[in-house]
Amino acid sequence: MPTAGESVGPAEDTQAATKINKPLEGRRALVTGAGGGLGGAISEALANAGAAVSLMARGRPALEAVAARIAAKGGTAFVAPCDITDISSVASTLGALPSHDIVVNAAGTNRPEPFVGVSLETFDLLFDLNVRALFAVTQLAVRRLLEEKRGGVVINIGSQMGHVGAVNRAVYCATKHAVEGLTKALAVELAPGSIRVVTIAPTFVDTPLTRPFFEDADFRKDVLSAIPLGRLASPDDIAAAVVFLASDSASMVTGTSLVVDGGWTAK
């Protein structure tokens, strides 16, 4: 660091600018559910911040489209098609890749139904993807970090519904509350290995997946009236939170949930 009155040379200027503009330079990130919507936006933001990103989802064409957008901006992305509910497939896919400093569990689903009408098929579908697959991907990625004696960060995309309840979302709320509990437990257990574990809990996000719901004017009105800021979250809102939590700026943040909900849970 230069002393008082000492000038900073071009090399130092370049390094400082890189640290600010590319805070994840030299790191590798894994993003599940990376084929579009929220996962795609997160992947692009991580790449823009300097990380090399492994894109994991079932559909290769969608992953290749995200990878192409990343490459067009000078970023680095690797396409890793995989059904994350197939644990053996996840293991073989990750085994063919280097370890990841950043793991973002963005894959998830919902099937809103009245509690008394929920089928075990729906229950299993949501828990298999939202909890079981998240657990397995995290376990496989963290084992590599521990074996290599390297730190890292796991970022679980939860939901505001992991903090509150909601009509027709009994199973979804249960899965997202489970993610919050898992985050806390892993943060405590993995801290000695310098591995942070955090959750981001968004409100409703404007994505192709959620857009059809908001074609119902009454539903849209009800949702917006519950958000004090009066708007839906954008994928970029969530992606920016991911980049922050993945960076050294959040080096003391672990075992907690960053609620990006426009004030929904503050009431």
Catalytic residues: 172, 176
pTM of the model: 0.91
pLDDT at 18: 55
Predicted pLDDT of residue 60: 96
Closest by CA to 122, choosing from 114, 235, 15, is 114
Structure tokens at 128: 């298999």
Per-residue confidence (pLDDT) for residue 115, from 0 to 100: 98
Give every residue of the chain whose pLDDT is below 70, as ranges: 1-19
pLDDT at residue 209, rounded to an integer: 80
Q: List pLDDT tens digits, range 5-56.
A: 455 565 555 555 556 789 999 999 999 999 989 999 999 999 999 999 999 9
Question: What pLDDT is stored for residue 19 in this prediction?
Answer: 64
Domains (range + CATH), the chain: 23-261 (3.40.50.720)
Tell me the sheet residues that pair with 195. 152
Read off the amino acid at residue 5.
Answer: G
Whole-number pLDDT of residue 210: 87
89 near 112, Cβ under 8 Å? no
Residue 7's pLDDT is: 52
